[in-house]
Amino acid sequence: MKKTGQATINDVARLAGVSKKTVSRVINRSPLLNDETRDRVEKVIAEIGYVPNPQARALALRRNFLIGLIHDNPNPHMVLNVQQGLLEVLRDTEFELIVHPVDRGAPTMLDDIKRFVERQRPFGVMLLPPISDNDSLAALCRDNGVRYVRMGSAQFDEPLHMVASNDREVVCSAVGHLIEAGHRRIGLVLGPHGFRSALERRRGYEDALDRADITLQRTLVAQGDYTFESGMRAAERLLDLSPRPTAVFCSNDAMAAGVLHTARQRGLDVPRDLSIVGFDDTSIASHLWPPLTTVRWPIATMARAAALKLIGEDDEDSGESLFVSTLIRRASVAAPLE
Amino acid sequence: MKKTGQATINDVARLAGVSKKTVSRVINRSPLLNDETRDRVEKVIAEIGYVPNPQARALALRRNFLIGLIHDNPNPHMVLNVQQGLLEVLRDTEFELIVHPVDRGAPTMLDDIKRFVERQRPFGVMLLPPISDNDSLAALCRDNGVRYVRMGSAQFDEPLHMVASNDREVVCSAVGHLIEAGHRRIGLVLGPHGFRSALERRRGYEDALDRADITLQRTLVAQGDYTFESGMRAAERLLDLSPRPTAVFCSNDAMAAGVLHTARQRGLDVPRDLSIVGFDDTSIASHLWPPLTTVRWPIATMARAAALKLIGEDDEDSGESLFVSTLIRRASVAAPLE
DNA sequence: TTGTATGCGTTATCAT
DNA sequence: ATGATAACGCATACAA
């Protein structure tokens, strides 16, 4: 055989008494093939344990069998869950996952991704928030014939290219949960400017107040940037207010943990003096004291769906593109004191 | 030019008035090259923005310019930090990171990795704990001419193939810290059986007791498996003891958080009634209440060093292979009451 | 120091 | 339905 020890398509062809092209057809499931020939080739393939060489395929097809994960390192919890979901589908396929983080903010970001796409020629790429917002990235993929799926807090692309969560709706019901418990002065800690998720969650908060005929008070809205520290800062401002809010919805768990931290430093009891709701259901949420009421969105499920869209046949149904989040009720919410 | 729009080595050769081979020599920094020729070729390369096609190189060289990250999904914090460190070095190189998780426990693990290595033919792979222990994996890489670096809690391979932390030593000093504070009954929550890290940390604990002439009591040692829940279970057993331990060293932060949780459920005050020390310095450690005294190991630094070993020139010094961890003192440790 | 011919393992073209 | 031959883009052996 070969010196490398790896069987090639030539070995298969020779042993099966057919041409390379025929073997190639078997591998690529060409429909116009004699069943008998196909069987014979497949038997040889199984016998010698032949697997096509990905590098040669990539060269000939001008397309790699890799799925790229492009992200701007938002929260680690999300990135890892996405990887896990993706890999669950990719495992046992010929695809591998290639991780390519970028620096949103850097002016070279688009060039960087362009180089990545043009050089690696991945089969498809998954775009994570917040950069999934970026329409030029989607266009870049389309122009290069690279499949893509965008993950986001709302549907801003065709179902084939989108896995979205219903942030606005679920936040509305989360804040509604606080209102039902009797709260009227409900603080909001925003996510960072320019993040679609921050916008959607803010809208959900406003929807809930609207629905309950509560006037939106701008002083109750504090800026945050999804970090623990920004949660602390927001809490310092919010808890200085008089009257104090009796509850706070935080646009993610890390900030909720920061709010909790600051509240405790001030001698406040959670949830007696302050109810807190987070978003993400990261592991910290359930391990905090008290355990945090929060929103869980099905990241891994969305990633699995995305993987299927990325590697699926062209003629297949593209599957779900909207995924519902759920409110996880824990001990950080109670009725207000007064 | 070509229909794909991408310049090839042929374009460069034609424009520079040399042969493909000469261009190839320039790319691969062949020493025997006329400086003038080199300059001319390099100018053309820069002009048309030529970049070698990775797929073609991979085919010709029988080796991909990819770095594989093989892991068994230990803790997310670690995996992500490793990725970050690796990618910091890989960014702006021709290498990309390909993530390949496996299932320790599955009998097919070795086959799975073997297939991965033989098919993808990565330039090098990084082996994360706990599977980095596995010598057959290292042998597999060696046999296939794939570079590898193992990450571990002790040095169990040559420096070229190893980035190790000094778990035993730092745990000894962490437990020593508790002893200096006045503790004598110090509990230990172990990591899972078969994990090298668990073993090293246990040894560190034993060293510290030894050094202080404290007799090791088996009842003070509780089994854990690095999860929050196992920390809770361990605490339940340990806190039932009479006399109770006044301090507990936990082999990671997640278990420390579990111990803290259970202690609080029992109405114990931390650190007054119980001092707790963790390991890892995950983000949860500093966000807990009280903030957790823990051990920080330089994961990202180790990953960067590993990346350099993986892509470095053969004749280069292999760099550091031992990395020191440090004790981060926070509020979860105090002198015992009695 | 540089060029020519050939190989890497697969797919595509165009026959038959 | 199948096969011969030429890409794909780069590297290596061997010449010159």
How many CB atoms neighbour CB A134 within 10 A?
Answer: 17
Q: Residue A21: which CATH number?
A: 1.10.260.40
- In the prediction, which pLDDT does A315 show? 67
Q: Which two tokens stand for residue B28?
A: 């691969």
Tell whether the model's pLDDT for residue A260 goes beyond 70.
yes
In this prediction, residue B121 has a pLDDT band, given cuts at 50, 70 and 90, of very high
* Residue B3 domain-assigned (yes or no): no
Query: Of the given ranges (A47-56, A239-248, A271-280, A292-301), which has the lowest mean pLDDT?
Result: A47-56
| Same structural domain, A303 and A161 | yes
Residue B221 DSSP symbol: E
The pLDDT of residue B1 is 39
Enclosing H/E stretch for B283:
helix B283-287
Q: Is A287 on the interface with B (CB under 8 A)?
A: yes
Overall average pLDDT of the A205-211 stretch: 98
Does the residue B76 lie in any domain? yes
pLDDT at A5: 64
Q: Which of A118-127, B71-80, B150-159 has the lowest mean pLDDT?
A: B71-80
Question: Rounded distance, CA A83 to CA A70, Å?
Answer: 11
**Are residue A74 and residue A144 in the same domain, yes or no?**
yes
- Total of domains in chain B: 3
Look at the alpha carbons of B158, B115, A95, A84 in this order and tell me if their dihedral is positive or negative.
negative
From the CA of A306, how many Å to the C1' of C10? 28
The answer on A223 and A179 residing in a single domain is yes
In chain A, the percentage of residues whose pLDDT exceeds 70 is: 98
A137-183 per-position pLDDT tens digit: 999 999 999 999 999 999 999 999 999 999 999 999 999 999 999 99
Whether B97 and A96 lie within 8 Å, measured CB to CB: no
What pLDDT score was predicted for residue A245? 98
A47-97 pLDDT per residue, tens = 988 989 999 999 999 999 999 999 998 788 899 999 999 999 999 899 999
Give the pLDDT mean for A122-145: 95
In whole angstroms, C13 C1' to A303 CA is 39
Q: Which nucleotide is nearest to A10 (CA to C1')?
A: C9
Beta bridge partners of A24: none
User: Could you give the CA distance from residue B197 to residue B252 in angstroms, rounded to a whole number?
Assistant: 10
By the 8 A CB rule, do A282 and A61 touch? Answer: no
* Report for B6-20, B41-55, B144-158: range of highest mean pLDDT: B144-158
Binary contact (A58, B58; C-beta < 8 A): yes
Do the Cβ atoms of B59 and A62 come within 8 Å? Answer: no
| C-alpha triplet B296, B299, B304: angle, nearest 5° | 145
Tokens 């670690």 locate to B78
- Identify whether residues B20 and B127 lie together within a single domain: no
If pLDDT is split at 50, 70 and 90, which confidence band does B4 have?
low
Asked whether residue B67 falls in the same domain as residue B151, the answer is: yes
Model pLDDT for residues A107-119, shown as the tens digit of each residue: 999 999 999 999 9
Q: Read off the tokens for B229.
A: 């829940």
Q: Say if A336 falls within a structural domain.
A: no
> Do the chains contact at B99 and A83, CB–CB below 8 Å?
yes
Residues 129-148 of B with CB under 8 A from A: none
**In this predicted model, which residue has the larger pLDDT, B18 or A67?**
A67
**Cβ neighbours of B237 (radius 10 Å):** 14
B34: confidence class by pLDDT, cuts 50, 70, 90: confident
Q: How confident is the model at residue A327 (pLDDT cuts 50, 70, 90)?
A: very high
Residue B31, domain extent: 9-52
Confidence of residue B3 (pLDDT cuts 50, 70, 90): very low
Chain A CB contacts of B53 below 8 Å: 59, 119
Assigned token pair, A9: 């398509």
What pTM, to 2 d.p., does this model score? Answer: 0.93
Task: Please check whether residue B86 is in contact with residue B303, taking contact to mean a CB–CB distance below 8 angstroms.
Answer: yes
Residue B170 — very low, low, confident or very high, per pLDDT cuts 50/70/90?
very high
Looking at residues B250-273, what average pLDDT do you find?
97
Over 70: is that where the pLDDT of A257 sits?
Answer: yes
pLDDT given for residue B120 in this prediction:
92
Percent of chain B with pLDDT over 90: 77
Per-residue pLDDT of A4-20, as tens digits, reads 567 899 989 989 988 88
CB B137 within 8 A of CB B124: no
Residue A18: CB less than 7 A from any atom in strand D? yes
Judge whether B155 lies within some domain.
yes
State mean pLDDT over B238-265: 97
Cβ neighbours for A2, distance < 8 A, ≥ 6 positions apart: A8, A11
Res. B215: pLDDT tops 50: yes
Query: Mean pLDDT, chain B, as a whole number?
Result: 93
Asked whether residue B230 is domain-assigned, the answer is yes
- For strand C, the positions having any atom within 7 A of a protein Cβ are 1-5, 7-13
Q: Name the amino acid, one letter, at A132.
A: S
Pairing of β A96-101 and β A147-152 = unpaired
Name residues whose C-beta falls within 8 Å of residue A330's C-beta, 6 or more positions apart in sequence.
Answer: A285, A286, A290, A291, A292, A293, A294
Interface residues for strand C (CB within 7 Å) are A 2, 4, 6, 8-10, 20-21, 23-24, 27-28, 50-53, 56-57, 59-61; B 17-22, 25, 32-34, 36-38, 56, 59-60, 62
CB contact under 8 A, A55 and B73: no
Amino acid at A19: S
How long is chain B?
Answer: 338
Span B143-170, mean pLDDT? 96
Measured between beta carbons, the chain A residues lying within 8 angstroms of B73 are 84
- The reported pLDDT for the residue numbered A318 is 77
User: Are A191 and A252 within 8 A, CB to CB?
Assistant: yes
Sign of CA dihedral B216, B219, B225, B231: negative
Specify the DSSP class assigned to residue A324: -
Q: Residue B319 region, left (φ>0) first, then alpha (ψ -120 to 50), else beta?
A: left
Rounded CA–C1' distance between A22 and D1, in angstroms: 10
Q: Are B125 and B70 in contact (CB under 8 A)?
A: yes
The answer to whether B238 and B220 have CB atoms below 8 angstroms apart is yes
Tell me if chain A has a CB within 8 Å of the CB of B99.
Answer: yes
User: What pairs with residue A221 in β-bridges?
Assistant: A188
A295 has a pLDDT exceeding 60: yes
Least confident of A169-183, A222-236, B110-124: B110-124
Inform me whether the C-beta atom of residue A197 falls under 8 Å from chain B C-beta atoms. Answer: no
- Per-residue confidence band for B40, with pLDDT thresholds at 50, 70 and 90: confident
User: Do B118 and B157 share a domain, yes or no?
Assistant: yes
How crowded is residue A28: how many other Cβ atoms within 10 Å of its Cβ? 11
B285: nearest CA partner in chain A: A284
Please report, rounded to whole angstroms, the spatial distance between the CA atom of protein residue B236 and the C1' atom of nucleotide C3. Answer: 78
Q: Is residue B7 very low, low, confident or very high in pLDDT (cuts 50, 70, 90)?
A: confident
Q: Is residue A338 part of a domain?
A: no
The distance in angstroms from the start CA to the end CA of chain A is 84
> Hey, what are A135's tokens?
């329409």
Q: Residues A179-196: what's their mean pLDDT?
A: 97
pLDDT in tens, A305-315: 999 999 997 76
Q: Let me know whether A102 and A190 are in one domain.
A: no
Q: Which residue is nearest to nucleotide D9 (CA to C1')?
A: B56
Could you tell me if B157 and B203 lie in one domain? Answer: no
- The predicted structure's pLDDT at residue B107: 94
Amino acid B2: pLDDT: 40
Establish if A135 belongs to a structural domain: yes
pLDDT over 90 for what percent of chain A?
A: 81
Distance CA A17, CA A13 (A): 6
Q: Tokens standing for A28?
A: 């690529």
- State yes or no: pLDDT of A1 exceeds 70: no
Q: Using the CA of B10, which nucleotide's C1' is the nearest one?
A: D9
On whether both B72 and B146 belong to a single domain, the answer is yes
User: Can you give the CATH number for the domain in which A241 is found?
Assistant: 3.40.50.2300
Same domain? For A189 and A281 the reply is: yes
**Does the pLDDT value for residue A263 go beyond 70?**
yes
Min mean pLDDT across A82-86, B41-45, B167-171, B295-299 is at B41-45
Closest CA to A56 of B54, B197, B56, B260: B56
Q: Which residues contact A83 (CB under 8 A, 6 or more apart)?
A: A69, A97, A99, A303, B99, B101
Count of CB atoms situated within 10 Å of the CB of A123: 20
Q: Six-digit token pair at B124?
A: 């090098």
Q: How much is the pLDDT for B262?
A: 97
Three-state secondary-structure class, residue A296: strand
B93 and B213 together in one domain: no
Q: Residue B43 domain-assigned?
A: yes
Claim to verify: residue B144 and residue B237 sit in the same structural domain: no
